[in-house]
Amino acid sequence: MEELTKTLKGLGLESVPQEPNTYPELNPFDIYRSHITELLAEVSGVDKKIIYPTLAWTAKPENGDLQLAVPALRLKGKDLKAYAQELADKFPESPLVKKPVVTGTFVGFFFKPESLTSIVLPLIFKAGKSYGFNNSFGLKEDGSKKKMVIDFSSPNIAKPFHAGHLRSTIIGGFLSNLYEGMGWEVVRMNYLGDWGKQYGVLAIGFDYFGNEEELVKNPIGHLYDIYVKVSNIQKDEADKVKALKAEVAKDKEEGKDVSAKEAEITKIETEGIDEKARQYFKGMVDGEPKAIGIWKRFRELSIEKYKQTYARLNIHYDVYSGESQIKDESMDLGVKVMWEKKVCEDSEGAVIVDLTKHSKKLGKAVIKKKDGTSLYLTRDVGAAYERMQTYHPDKLMYVVASQQDLHLAQLFKIEELMGWKDISSISQHINFGMVLGMSTRKGTAKFLDDILRDVGEKMHEVMRGNQAKYEQVEDPEKTSDTLGISAVMVQDMKGKRINNYNFDMDRMTSFEGDTGPYLQYAHARLCSIYRKAIDADPSLEKTDFATVDLSELQEPHAVDLIRQLASWPDTFLNTFKTQEPTTVLTYLFKMSHAVSASYDHLQVVGSDKKVNVARLALYVAARQVLNNGMRILGLSPVERM
Ligand code: ARG
């Protein structure tokens, strides 16, 4: 606070303006909002508590940096237009803001550029990596951190990692970073689809088609291949039985002998894949060591492989959970409560919950099958209970495609009806639309690794297009991989989550338009400006940017960029409300455009030293903000490309 106090004294303010729950050291806009609030309270007599929250961002820059909607002051019996004018006229001379501008019943305030520059840049240098973030928002009253358990990615073993999982991974990674940036403790959880009869099918398939070496080398691909092959046999067998049964019926009518056909049916029904898988899965449920052992190995090898892929996306999990991990006791407890609270009922031997009483849309949900086995939904009830017991979270997030809107709506409603409001009230489904036409160059995409490799190769081609630059890049292989991943991620986060989008390899890998490579380029260019400035004048390397004289930064381009940089903490705060990655991305693109518009006007070499240093400070600050924003999204900013 000391330095900020000094800066503001220098501008002519006695103390740092600070309304309750504001953070002048972290957010420049807080200073201006508090300051304007104080002055408006003086001239209007309205309570500061009412004024502060009505000071809002403007849609158009010509309306000011902040705007007061006079009607929101809730003043009775006043001509609001005239009063807006009166407020503007009475508004005193201020070191931070210019004379207010009135449009209708709005009063607009413009920040004085000199004040903005001297406040914002030092603040950015001081906060550095954490500029924009604010740990206070994650604190509970007792000072401990709020905690979120976030279930995301959650693919199914031996099945394709499809676009829905990719989006869940990207969006979930972003939300985890977002909450951490707000001071929350985040438990990243991968809830694998790893339980059910299909894992019996898989184990049987491994007996037929498995190859130990392949399994270790490429578990995900190999298990998938096996699963496809064995499921086909399973399906053929089922078709065969159906056909035979029809023939038997017909033959019987015609008085023919059916014993051979009946024997064949029995053989398939007792020795076929389906029955073998059923028995195998029963072994897993009963905890037979052999059955469990094989399945566990599949699971563990798959997780090892997933970990490598997630690492490429900057994602690390705290827990690899999964449907298999949910204890019978938790599910039994859930079903017991459902009976007690009369939430469920018997339906021909199965247990179901009829939610149509509450909403037609919610339909009926099966909780236990006739043979007593649990389902996806049952396991989610048990899983939620266990998450509460283990972590005592303040929020439970499920990042799952909107195809599962019904499933999660059912889950939350059932929990509520069970009286588990402590769970349902903190649960949130973060949904998202589909990716259309996701394919690799070799065909339809099945695995995340194939997609990332493909996009990386494409980026490599694009990079080779500029041979001179290409030669400067230390590890082109790695850089193109990073750029490819950025391309995929930015394309995914660009629109609102709920929108579908087209997987468009050419578009996403382009340097033009709002793409991942564009952002990376903007970052690399800022890094290069710094390198070049140091090359030209090595004495600059020791500069303490927090203390340089910024008075030279008066050009409109500089002021515009500083204004952008000032609004990053508010943008971050707003992102916490929208929970949309596009809120961050839109900001970063706008800010990067402001940076690139500045280059021609604000050159760092060639002017006099004082000007050079001030401009360099501006670019260093811009790089910091871009870097912070990119990291929140889960991107790895590159320094050269
Ligand atoms: N494994 C599921 C699927 O691929 C997603 C699981 C989402 N999480 C949950 N708790 N249901 O469809």
C-alpha closest to that of 522 among 606, 583, 587: 587
CB 114 within 8 A of CB 361: no
Residue nearest to atom 3 of ligand 1 (CA): 155
Kindly give the interhelix angle for 273-285 and 219-253, rounded to the nearest 10 degrees: 130
Active-site residue, from 165, 222, 305, 368: 165
The pLDDT > 90 percentage for the chain reads 90
Active-site residue, from 112, 126, 159, 469: 159
- Report the C-alpha dihedral over residues 231, 237, 240, 241, rounded to 10 degrees: -120
Number of Cα atoms under 13 Å in the Cβ half of residue 608: 3
Q: How confident is the model at residue 161 (pLDDT cuts 50, 70, 90)?
A: confident
- Cα–Cα distance, 410 to 429 (Å, whole number): 11
Please tell me the distance between residue 191's alpha carbon and the centre of ligand 1 in angstroms: 7
Question: What average pLDDT does this structure show over 62-73?
Answer: 94
- Beta strand residue intervals within 469-538, DSSP E: 501-502
Q: How confident is the model at residue 328 (pLDDT cuts 50, 70, 90)?
A: very high
Res. 440: pLDDT tops 70:
no
Res. 359: pLDDT tops 70:
yes
Place of tokens 């990243």: 188
| Mean pLDDT for the chain overall | 95
User: For this structure, is 460 an active site residue?
Assistant: no
Place of tokens 């790895």: 636
Residue nearest to atom 10 of ligand 1 (CA): 380
Q: Which residues pair with 439 in a beta bridge?
A: 444
Work out which ligand 1 atom sits closest to the CA atom of 164: 4
* Main-chain phi, psi angles of 350, to 5 degrees: -90, 160
Question: What average pLDDT does this structure show over 58-65?
Answer: 91
Res. 113: pLDDT tops 70:
yes
Number of Cα atoms under 13 Å in the Cβ half of residue 216: 2
- Cα–Cα distance, 197 to 182 (Å, whole number): 42
> 323 in ligand 1 pocket by Cβ < 6 Å?
no
C-alpha closest to that of 8 among 26, 32, 43: 32
Work out which ligand 1 atom sits closest to the CA atom of 383: 10
User: Tens digits of per-residue pLDDT, 608-636?
Assistant: 889 999 999 999 999 999 999 999 999 99
Work out which ligand 1 atom sits closest to the CA atom of 193: 1
Q: How confident is the model at residue 53 (pLDDT cuts 50, 70, 90)?
A: very high
CB 483 within 8 A of CB 632: no
Q: Which helix (H) or strand (E) holds 595?
A: helix 581-598
Q: How confident is the model at residue 322 (pLDDT cuts 50, 70, 90)?
A: very high
pLDDT at site 438? 82
> 398 in ligand 1 pocket by Cβ < 6 Å?
yes
> 156 in ligand 1 pocket by Cβ < 6 Å?
yes
C-alpha closest to that of 397 among 634, 633, 170, 176: 176
ipTM score: 0.99
Instruction: Give the C-alpha distances (Å, rounded to integers) separating 239 from 34, 125, 233, 253, 269.
Output: 73, 69, 10, 22, 12
Please tell me the distance between residue 414's alpha carbon and the centre of ligand 1 in angstroms: 17
Instruction: Give the C-alpha distances (Å, rounded to integers) separating 491 from 153, 167, 409, 477, 505.
Output: 17, 10, 28, 21, 10
For 496, the 3-state DSSP assignment is: coil
Please tell me the distance between residue 406's alpha carbon and the centre of ligand 1 in angstroms: 13
pLDDT at site 160? 83
Work out which ligand 1 atom sits closest to the CA atom of 192: 1
User: For this structure, is 593 an active site residue?
Assistant: no
Which DSSP string do the residues of 413-455 spell out, in sequence order? HHHHHTT-HHHHTTEEEE---PEES-EETTEE---HHHHHHHH
- Which amino acid, 608? D
* Main-chain phi, psi angles of 395, to 5 degrees: -155, 140
Please tell me the distance between residue 127's alpha carbon and the centre of ligand 1 in angstroms: 38
CB 400 within 8 A of CB 168: yes
- Which amino acid, 262? E
Residue nearest to atom 11 of ligand 1 (CA): 380
Can you list the pairs that 556-559 forms with residues at least 24 positions away whose Cβ atoms lie under 8 Å? Answer: 557/594, 557/597, 557/598, 557/601, 557/602, 558/117, 558/598, 558/602, 558/615, 558/618, 559/113, 559/116, 559/117
Res. 591: pLDDT tops 80:
yes
Residues across the chain: 641
pLDDT at site 268? 96
> 302 in ligand 1 pocket by Cβ < 6 Å?
no
Kindly give the interhelix angle for 609-633 and 163-181, rounded to the nearest 10 degrees: 130
- Cα–Cα distance, 151 to 187 (Å, whole number): 9
Work out which ligand 1 atom sits closest to the CA atom of 411: 11
Please tell me the distance between residue 338's alpha carbon and the centre of ligand 1 in angstroms: 22
Kindly give the interhelix angle for 448-464 and 163-181, rounded to the nearest 10 degrees: 80
Dihedral sign for Cα 472, 475, 480, 486, please.
negative
Question: What average pLDDT does this structure show over 413-442?
Answer: 93
Residue nearest to atom 4 of ligand 1 (CA): 155
pLDDT at site 310? 95
> 592 in ligand 1 pocket by Cβ < 6 Å?
no
Q: Which residues pair with 364 in a beta bridge?
A: 354
> 380 in ligand 1 pocket by Cβ < 6 Å?
yes
Q: How confident is the model at residue 447 (pLDDT cuts 50, 70, 90)?
A: confident
Question: What average pLDDT does this structure show over 343-355?
Answer: 97
Question: What average pLDDT does this structure show over 316-333?
Answer: 97
Q: How confident is the model at residue 445 (pLDDT cuts 50, 70, 90)?
A: low
- Cα–Cα distance, 285 to 324 (Å, whole number): 9
Instruction: Give the C-alpha distances (Å, rounded to integers) separating 279 from 196, 197, 204, 210, 270.
Output: 12, 9, 10, 19, 10
Please tell me the distance between residue 198's alpha carbon and the centre of ligand 1 in angstroms: 15
- Which amino acid, 201? V
Q: How confident is the model at residue 442 (pLDDT cuts 50, 70, 90)?
A: low
> 191 in ligand 1 pocket by Cβ < 6 Å?
yes
**% helix / strand / coil in the chain, to the nearest 5?**
60, 10, 30
Strands 350-354 and 364-368: antiparallel
Mutate to test the pocket of ligand 1, among 153, 321, 375, 400 (most ligand atoms within 8 A of CB): 400
> 194 in ligand 1 pocket by Cβ < 6 Å?
no
Higher-scoring residue by pLDDT: 492, 61: 492
Please tell me the distance between residue 342's alpha carbon and the centre of ligand 1 in angstroms: 27
Please tell me the distance between residue 254's alpha carbon and the centre of ligand 1 in angstroms: 51
* Main-chain phi, psi angles of 55, to 5 degrees: -80, 110
Please tell me the distance between residue 361's alpha carbon and the centre of ligand 1 in angstroms: 21
- Cα–Cα distance, 83 to 70 (Å, whole number): 8
Work out which ligand 1 atom sits closest to the CA atom of 407: 11
> 580 in ligand 1 pocket by Cβ < 6 Å?
no
> 44 in ligand 1 pocket by Cβ < 6 Å?
no
pLDDT at site 262? 95
pLDDT at site 444? 65
Mutate to test the pocket of ligand 1, among 151, 154, 411 (most ligand atoms within 8 A of CB): 154
User: Tens digits of per-residue pLDDT, 378-408?
Assistant: 999 999 999 999 999 999 999 999 999 999 9
- Residues 6 or more apart whose CB falls under 8 angstroms from that of 597 comprise 557, 560
For 29, the 3-state DSSP assignment is: helix
Please tell me the distance between residue 155's alpha carbon and the centre of ligand 1 in angstroms: 7
For 267, the 3-state DSSP assignment is: helix
Instruction: Give the C-alpha distances (Å, rounded to integers) separating 613 from 88, 526, 537.
Output: 38, 14, 10
pLDDT at site 498? 98
Task: Give per-residue burial for 409-440: e unless 16+ CB within 10 Å, then b.
Answer: bbbbbbbbbbebeebbebbbbbbbbebeebeb
User: Tens digits of per-residue pLDDT, 482-517?
Assistant: 999 999 999 999 999 999 999 999 999 999 999 999
User: Tens digits of per-residue pLDDT, 283-312?
Assistant: 999 999 999 999 999 999 999 999 999 999
Question: What average pLDDT does this structure show over 204-220?
Answer: 94
- Which amino acid, 250? K
- Beta strand residue intervals within 137-281, DSSP E: 147-152, 185-192
- Cα 255 to its chain centre, rounded Å, is 66
Res. 335: pLDDT tops 90:
yes
Q: How confident is the model at residue 106 (pLDDT cuts 50, 70, 90)?
A: very high
C-alpha closest to that of 615 among 600, 630, 627: 600
C-alpha closest to that of 516 among 401, 626, 621, 618: 626
Res. 376: pLDDT tops 80:
yes
Res. 446: pLDDT tops 80:
no
Q: Which helix (H) or strand (E) holds 109?
A: strand 106-109
C-alpha closest to that of 543 among 614, 604, 601: 614
Work out which ligand 1 atom sits closest to the CA atom of 400: 7
For 148, the 3-state DSSP assignment is: strand
User: For this structure, is 429 an active site residue?
Assistant: no
pLDDT at site 443? 65
Mutate to test the pocket of ligand 1, among 191, 331, 429 (most ligand atoms within 8 A of CB): 191
